[in-house]
Amino acid sequence: MSPLDVIEIPGYPGWFARRVAVEAWQRAGSPRLTSAGRLYASQKYLWDGWAARLPGFNPADNPDDETQRLAHVRFVAFDLANPNHDRAAMQRAGFTFPYSYEPWHAELPNVRSYAIVRDIPSTAGGNARPIPDTPTPTPTLEDDMPTLITSAGGQSLAIEGVIVPLTSPAEVQSIKITPGVLECSRSVHERIQAIVGANRSTSAAIPLRVFDKGGNGTVYILQDGKLRPLVDPTTLTELDAKDGPTITLSHVEVQNLLQNE
């Protein structure tokens, strides 16, 4: 793999993808992301945990089975923060959306023509270097303390009225909440910056849209710490027009949020 083939994604420190994917994403207007390239070792960790049915692990693809698409591990896939708003632009830029149950997942065509990425070249992005996943303190206000949400479907972090998914037991174990400080891994810190930052950039009056991955199609809104079903379709259209923030949770996580209100 050429050292110039994988680059850091502009505006997302520590996130990488193949240059061809980044350039296509930029042609689409650089829509907000929640996930990008995932190294082989990270995918293997998720697969091993799932295969052993360890607590906290969700279904994951085996990175050693290259008959699978594994688009994230090939560094040619992005997960969109606002798929309803950005899907058309991504399609015009050449991306496909192969999974009806994952409307946020965009990838380049012919994914199997790209090799699995096992490490980030030291020259990727010029001065970019792989960043270790070490705990990083994140300042927070005492009257706006984050909450760790745990359910059979996994763990998430609720902070500033938005939900930040935690993707592995290691990320959960890195969380330490004390008055004034949230201690977390670097990967969680960057995800908080992306999701919470996107939420701050929109009007405070615009609620977070929550999509239920395993539900019946109901869309919820999270505002002022309360999750409510969205019953008026015109409201969803208005939120799309305002480029409001979105997140997709498992059905179990949604039900857990509703029950804990």
pLDDT confidence tier of residue 29, bands split at 50, 70 and 90: very high
CA distance 166 to 145: 17
CATH 3.30.1380.10 range(s) for the chain read 6-113
Residues 6+ apart with CB under 8 A from 69: 61, 98, 107, 111, 112
CB-based contact 116:110 (threshold 8 Å): no
Q: Which two three-digit tokens encode residue 88?
A: 């058309």
Q: Which two three-digit tokens encode residue 143?
A: 């009257």
Q: Which two three-digit tokens encode residue 81?
A: 């923060």
pLDDT confidence tier of residue 129, bands split at 50, 70 and 90: very low
The CATH classification number of 6-113 equals: 3.30.1380.10
Q: What percent of the chain has pLDDT over 90?
A: 28
Other Cβ atoms closer than 10 A to 35 = 18
pLDDT tens sequence across 43-97 = 888 888 888 887 767 778 899 998 889 999 999 999 999 999 999 999 999 999 9
